[in-house]
Amino acid sequence: MGFAPDDTERLARARADLRMGVPVVVADMGIMLAAETLQPARLSLLHGMGAAVAITDWRAQTLKVAAYDGDVARIALPADADARWVTALANPADDLRSPMKGPLRALRTGDADLARAAVILCKSARLLPAAVIVPLEDTAAFATEHGLTMVDAAAIRKTEMSPLQGIVSARLPISVSEAGRLHVFRPDDGGEEHYAVEIGQPDRSNPVLARLHSACFTGDLLGSLKCDCGPQLRGALAQMGAEGHGVLLYLNQEGRGIGLANKMRAYALQDQGFDTVEANHRLGFHDDERDFRIGAAILKQMGFSAVRLLTNNPAKIARMEASGVSVVERVPLKVGENAHNHAYLATKAAKSGHLL
């Protein structure tokens, strides 16, 4: 390895650039700017270059525009469009107040791979899945001239999970068990760290009581009544403490993998009358953007091959099994229902298959 960054390192740079509003070049395709952080001065430079706005098919459904490319739609950028116009396409916050966004002209011809790459990269940066894109002939020269990060489309589309490195573990007595230990794992791609809370000294040759818990700032730390995350976290730890052993995986995949800011956007949409799944779709996301392979990888690194899984979500069981971790028992975890989250839990059961 030389001094130059590899594909993984360039992707980490690209995500940081997009969050700051800096354009990113996709090799042999074109340039992209995240809609959420779009700066008017940079947008003005793109007029006359054949720019379009890339959005997901879910967002296209909300805007009543045809997604001719299937999973994405490319909307031609009008000559007089400003940054607010682009933001309105990407962010559903004002959809009910201002439902008419058109006329919108969805592109039917041309390659949509730049649009797909742009949406994927925005998602991985925890931004709204929308971007301004412009095809370019000589992407390498453009990147060099303007000092921009250039990434390969194949690296963006790569679906293999980034390897995880165990960084450190230390004894951590907690309220449910003085025999606690915290393990920290860091992905090679520069993403968020993930944690494993080990209770006692579980026998690696037997199925361990385990839970895959996705981070929830509002529920875990603030005691939010809009979800059941906090009670599930504490209930799982209490059960492990009572049994004397267990592993709780705390995965930094806030808001079903869309990030805290987008989760708050979804909450604002729920206040407008949409359920949790509809809110995610209006933002342009799938029902659930999490990657449960992370949990399986951590368990295997810790020496576990079989679990008794504390969950109400069949998708977690399926993902564990597909990733080589045997689930010998599903242990229900039905806690935390209240007047504020009753409809939320009902939606998870009806639309996401949760066993509640």
Query: Letter for the amino acid at 171?
Result: R
Contact indicator for 250, 215 with CB cutoff of 8 Å? yes
Active site residue 74: no
Alpha carbons within 13 A on the beta-carbon side of 151:
27
State the angle between helix axes of 314-322 and 293-301 in degrees (0 to 180), rounded to the nearest 10: 50
Active site residue 288: yes
Which residue is catalytic, options 116, 288, 293, 319?
Answer: 288
Strands 208-214 and 306-310: parallel
Give the bridge partners for 56, in sequence order. 72
Which residue is catalytic, options 126, 290, 293, 319?
Answer: 290
User: Within 10 Å of residue 103's Cβ, how many Cβ atoms?
Assistant: 7
Alpha helices by DSSP H, listed for the chain, are 7-20, 40-46, 57-63, 83-90, 113-124, 139-146, 153-157, 229-243, 254-257, 260-271, 276-283, 293-301, 314-322, 342-352
- State both tokens at 152: 């390969």
Annotated active-site positions, please?
A: 288, 290
